[in-house]
Structure 1
Amino acid sequence: MTPPPARRRRGGAPERSFPRKGSVRRSQMITTYGVGSMIAVDNESFIVSGIDSWNVDGAPTIHEHRLARVLGVQFFRLPPASDDTSKDGVHVRRFPLWHSCPTCNALQHVRGFNSPPGKNECGECDEELVPSRFVMACARGHIDDFPYWKWAHRNNRAGETGLCGGAMRLRTSGKTASLRSVLVSCSCGIPEVSMEGAFRGRALSDLKVRCSGKRPWLKDAPVEPCAEAPRTLQRGSSVAWQAIVRTALSIPPWSGGLAARLADHWETLRAIDRSELELALKLITLKDKDELPLEQVVALLDAENEEDAGTEEARTKDRANVALRKKEYERLSEGNPESSADRDEQFICERPRSSTSVLLPYGVTSPMLVKRLREVRALKAFSRVDTPDSHADVHEAQLSLTPLNWLPAMEVQGEGVFLRLDEERVDSWARNAAVAARVERIRSNHLRQLRERAKDPKSAPDSPASARMILLHTLSHVLVNEWSLDGGYPTSSLRERLYADETMAGLLVYTATSDSAGSLGGLVAQGEPAKLEKALRAALTRATWCSADPLCVESEASGAGSVNLAACHACVLLPETSCEQNNGLLDRALLIGTPEDPSIGFFTPALH
């Protein structure tokens, strides 16, 4: 991405003079290095500041009305970009604050090293300091430096609260690569101790270390009282920061250019009476010098009123994802031909021109070619320690100290293929006793996992695992793998979007990526009935055998939390960026059966 030119004041000087500390792609600010995450720059470590400290004056605005209403904001912004000469952009703060010197082994707060101005060096050794590898965090998102003094003095404390006054040291023996070789000592004469055992769940609680309630990513944030038990984490651990991202496809009537043009006036248009709408549009037209069609504006207002009740229910029941997807499912099923769309339309979905009869043996009905789509991905919050899941109870750490009317987001353009399965055939297959038994094993394991994660097991959310969901999810995975091999797409550039509940039975495989992979119509071509039939047959045939068989197909449980059955990295698992369910709720036996009982496979009749 080419960043915009540096913004300057009238006098010609940069707006700010903060030193530049490296760069990341804009998309990484949503998924990898978002607010509250730790980022390594050379030999230094920083934490990304809250969005209320970002300089977003020149950052592009993103409008996606449906998603904004669900998340309670007015609009979204791309993270601000800057080049090598500008001094603005996303702000970071040094974290962790405890560092060590690899030469003299001193371990202390970074201020104690008397570093030269502008450098992160030991004042005695002129050696670059090493940020602490370890931090402590809790499930409410709080994070702080690891309590090295309490860890080293756990059996030799000078009173309950007093310090010994000695100088801490950190060294590595080099004997092993384990924590046993990371040694902490103090000049007061206590025995040297290793970091072994620091990652036990109750390691810090046993030392009577409580969560400090600190939020270093938020400027001037007060300390929050917190009763959560802190955990030791490695600074680069995957659970030290995990994004909570919400997404939505732009669909009619919001996918045209009109919705974005009206964004600044929308609240006014909603509040006025319909009889005054035409006059209000004329006044807006005088200001914007552009005609606004009354019929289309009325259609937007009607669409919003229709979604009002569903959206409010979705907010209270935390089912916003379902509310959004039902509308998408309707639009994907109905289509939006290019011939009837204007040039600004961001959603083009058409039926194939050739006959779809070759797909009937597979139970596939009404495949749709999504020739143009736009997806908005917004960073809602983040979590620590607990793994976020769309159906799990995790604390959502805030992105700013005070609520703002926007969230950071990115928009991507792409294309895809939408498939629906015959719901009557799926329901008939799901009534098979053997199928129901396999689904129940997955469902019970997933429910147990959700109860373990929930603070109150009685209020744990229900599992989405059903025969329909697992079938669609596994089919999506084998198709992604097949199109990656046959069409030349990187697997990570393909994504799935599942539509599975009592009223939906569809899946969308699409190429909404921030680069150019699959943006020239190649995936849409794979959705033509003749090619799709060959891809389905090849994918399902490939799924009949795995290099890990018979262990894979005979597995009683697999995957994190045992929420899979016949699924492994050699057959159906995908890169994490491509899967909506963290590679869970998968079972290829429901596609093609098992050697002992082929009848449980939904597609078994089509392969014989």
Structure 2
Amino acid sequence: MTPPRERRRRGADGLPAAPRFDLPRRGSVRRAQMITTYGVGSLVAVDNESFIVSGIDKAHHSWQLDEAPIIHEHRLARVLGVRHFRLPPASDDGSKDGVRVRRFPLWHSCPQCRSLQHVKGFNPPPGKNICTKCDDEPLVPSRFVVACEDGHLDDFPYWKWLHRGNREEGATGHCGGQMSLAFSGRSASLRSIVVSCTCGVPAVSMEGAFRRSALGDLKVRCEGKRPWLEGAPAEFCSKSPRTLQRGSSAVWQPVLKSALSIPPWSDGLADKLAEHWEDLRGYSSRMEIEIYLKGAFRGDDSVSVDAVMDLLAAEQEEDPTPEGGADVGAANRHQALRRQEYEQLSAGNALRDKGREEQFVCEPPVSDISVLSPYGVDRTMLVKRLREVRALKAFTRIADPETSSEGHEAALSLSPTDWLPAMEVHGEGVFVRLDEHRLDNWAESVAVAARVERMRANHDRLLRERATDPAEVPPSPATPRMVLLHTLAHALINEWSLEAGYPAGALRERLYTDDTMAGFLVYTATSDSAGSLGGVVAQGEPTRLAKALHSALQRATWCSADPLCIETRSSGAGGTNLAACHACAMLPETSCEYNNILLDRALLIGTPDDRQVGFFAHVLE
């Protein structure tokens, strides 16, 4: 994040345009970063200052529609329980009001007088962060914060850390001294950061502050604070707080949910009906719907009764929770979304049958796909046009979203809202589906099942350790089919990044794996020059795809970390990988749905001792 350059805001009449709210501007980030990097609850560094992004409780007042337009994605909105999504406001020369932030952490130090205290103790003037005793020396925010796995965040307890074991039994209150923070400069370790106090207690370094039990040993408990939510009361929390670096990725990780726009929701009609769904669901007859549409869309012939009735019927059919039935759970609702996408990707949706507004165009290749038969590819589809909406549902701290239960998720607002921040990506991709019969025969191998069971057991253990409620631990998705497709998608993305000129970070995987699905989609994940230019679709032509698959498998047979990589019995976070490392199978984490876990290239090409473990071993022979 960089501070904005000096500029004058101008309105439509050419005169300077004042912001709607007279608040100081501190910096700017890209819209996509407000979903993936600097979302609600994250810490943002601007020059010598640090801020936390505020919640969305009052965002509907400051996010103007011309700068933060509404995004509609009917299927995803129903699953997440909201009406629509909002694109975060832009930050350019014509922008007015942006995203609200609050100063955090509140403990600062002065590099000149070395004083360490709450920022109010320095008595800075409004809007500035300086030490008034040291000729306006800029203050330095605390490098350390404390957080817990339930998402709470607080300042590091410097006073308790320094005065541990140096107080008389039964003494209460602070010592009344002035703390200071000094850097010895002897090394770059935490031992060089020394905290002292004028009350005379021995100085203490920050060494050991990052131990898991460091704060618990001092009887420091989580205060349940949520500084990103204005006026939020402290919650009771039984979790042990952990010390983190202010800029660590463990301080904030987004919980993103996404969906592709697929028929019948991809032609733009559903967007026109966005404000009328609640009324339309109340009608059961064609005549009632026709009368309503004539009143709501007077003079607009593009909204036909038949099309609306088809959408209502599709919504009823797609609803994973039948009327009068029990809620099937968040995981099943999202899996239902994937299953609908899988069916549409397999069936296709030709451009010649649709209009210009169609956001999903998926066609089979013109040439014969029999060249892909040795690789077990049952179908390949060229997705020439797609739209994906990614919504920020919540966020986590310390624990990864993919390895935790939903009990760890911290809310974006103090009270429920009918919208969530989101972004949309338009691009292209290639869908590959493998032969399920051949997959099932291969998965029956004892050696294959043993390798996957090892990963699944480690992943299950990791989930149990990080679960809030042991009774609601989500099962690991690791199966032979899932691990194979996941690793194959990584191998193909790496191959295209080398041969087709696409950076690996510009491509993304989307897996479709369960007992009824066996495919994956590789598509562009950016809207810049690496976006929808036809290059990815060109890679999906059968002859070219066969060459790419063969080359990717050949590359997978060797890793610079071999033989350690191919022979390892456990790797990755918590032992959730086998033969996979950054030199062979891993991708930038923005490209992977599972944060680079549940990977094993041995399932592609086999091991030195047993080639038949590899699904594609016969091709390489």
Settle same-fold status: TM greater than 0.5: yes
CA contact (8 A) 1:416 1:511 kept: yes
Alpha-carbon distance, 1:27 to partner: 0.3
Match of 2:235 in 1: 224
Return the match for 2:155 from 126, 142, 145.
145
Letter in 2 for 1:477: H
1:406 and 2:419 correspond:
yes
CA contact (8 A) 1:594 1:600 kept: yes
Match of 2:585 in 1: 572
1:56 and 2:63 correspond:
yes
Alpha-carbon distance, 1:221 to partner: 1.2
Alpha-carbon distance, 1:390 to partner: 6.3
1:307 and 2:318 correspond:
yes
For 1:86 and 1:471, the matched residues in 2 are separated by: 47
Deviation string 1:41-79 (CA, Å, 9 cap, x unpaired) is 000000000112321222110000000001000000001
Letter in 2 for 1:220: G
Return the match for 1:544 from 538, 557, 564.
557
CA contact (8 A) 2:408 2:468 kept: no
Q: Name the SS of the counterpart of 1:365 in structure 2.
A: strand
Alpha-carbon distance, 1:401 to partner: 1.1
1:601 and 2:601 correspond:
no
Letter in 2 for 1:121: I
Match of 2:216 in 1: 205
1:429 and 2:434 correspond:
no
CA contact (8 A) 1:376 1:412 kept: yes
Q: Name the SS of the counterpart of 1:367 in structure 2.
A: strand
CA contact (8 A) 2:53 2:100 kept: yes
Match of 2:410 in 1: 397
Range 399-408 or range 509-518, more displaced? 509-518
CA contact (8 A) 1:75 1:405 kept: yes
Alpha-carbon distance, 1:118 to partner: 3.2
**Structure 1 residues 185-584: aligned runs within 5 Å:** 185-274=196-285, 275-286=287-298, 289-310=300-321, 316=329, 318-389=331-402, 392-584=405-597
Match of 2:87 in 1: 78
1:120 and 2:139 correspond:
no
Letter in 2 for 1:361: P
For 1:559 and 1:115, the matched residues in 2 are separated by: 47
Q: Name the SS of the counterpart of 1:297 in structure 2.
A: helix
For 2:403 and 2:330, the matched residues in 1 are separated by: 13
For 2:63 and 2:301, the matched residues in 1 are separated by: 27
CA contact (8 A) 2:561 2:583 kept: yes
For 2:115 and 2:403, the matched residues in 1 are separated by: 44
Q: 1:296 to 1:43 in 2, by over 3 A?
A: same
CA contact (8 A) 1:310 1:323 kept: no
**Structure 1 residues 129-168: aligned runs within 5 Å:** 129-157=139-167, 159-168=170-179
**Could you state the TM-score of these two structures normalised by the residue count of structure 1?**
0.96
Alpha-carbon distance, 1:117 to partner: 4.0
For 1:372 and 1:86, the matched residues in 2 are separated by: 30
For 1:90 and 1:53, the matched residues in 2 are separated by: 10
Q: 1:483 to 1:13 in 2, by over 3 A?
A: closer
For 1:384 and 1:479, the matched residues in 2 are separated by: 32
Range 522-531 or range 595-604, more displaced? 595-604
CA contact (8 A) 1:53 1:91 kept: no
Alpha-carbon distance, 1:179 to partner: 0.8
For 1:6 and 1:262, the matched residues in 2 are separated by: 35
Alpha-carbon distance, 1:355 to partner: 0.3
CA RMSD of aligned residues (A): 2.0
For 1:207 and 1:160, the matched residues in 2 are separated by: 15
Letter in 2 for 1:139: E
Q: 1:553 to 1:12 in 2, by over 3 A?
A: closer
1:106 and 2:118 correspond:
no
Letter in 2 for 1:435: V
For 1:161 and 1:320, the matched residues in 2 are separated by: 52
Alpha-carbon distance, 1:209 to partner: 1.4
Deviation string 1:313-335 (CA, Å, 9 cap, x unpaired) is 66535322211100000000000
**Could you state the TM-score of these two structures normalised by the residue count of structure 2?**
0.94
For 1:86 and 1:350, the matched residues in 2 are separated by: 40
Q: 1:85 to 1:431 in 2, by over 3 A?
A: closer
CA contact (8 A) 1:387 1:394 kept: no
Deviation string 1:104-124 (CA, Å, 9 cap, x unpaired) is 100001111122443211111
For 1:272 and 1:527, the matched residues in 2 are separated by: 44
Return the match for 1:23 from 20, 28, 33.
28
1:43 and 2:48 correspond:
yes
CA contact (8 A) 2:108 2:139 kept: yes
Letter in 2 for 1:42: D
Gaps in structure 2 of 5+ consecutive residues: none
Q: Name the SS of the counterpart of 2:30 in structure 1.
A: coil
CA contact (8 A) 2:361 2:385 kept: yes
Paired positions, count: 605
Alpha-carbon distance, 1:310 to partner: 4.3
CA contact (8 A) 1:447 1:462 kept: yes
Alpha-carbon distance, 1:11 to partner: 12
For 2:330 and 2:123, the matched residues in 1 are separated by: 53
Alpha-carbon distance, 1:220 to partner: 1.3
Letter in 2 for 1:131: P
Q: 1:85 to 1:422 in 2, by over 3 A?
A: closer
For 1:129 and 1:217, the matched residues in 2 are separated by: 22
Alpha-carbon distance, 1:187 to partner: 0.5
Deviation string 1:368-413 (CA, Å, 9 cap, x unpaired) is 0000000000000011122211664541111111111100000000
Letter in 1 for 2:150: R
**% of aligned pairs identical?**
65
Alpha-carbon distance, 1:204 to partner: 1.4
Deviation string 1:415-437 (CA, Å, 9 cap, x unpaired) is 00000000000000111111111
Gaps in structure 1 of 5+ consecutive residues: none
For 2:392 and 2:330, the matched residues in 1 are separated by: 20
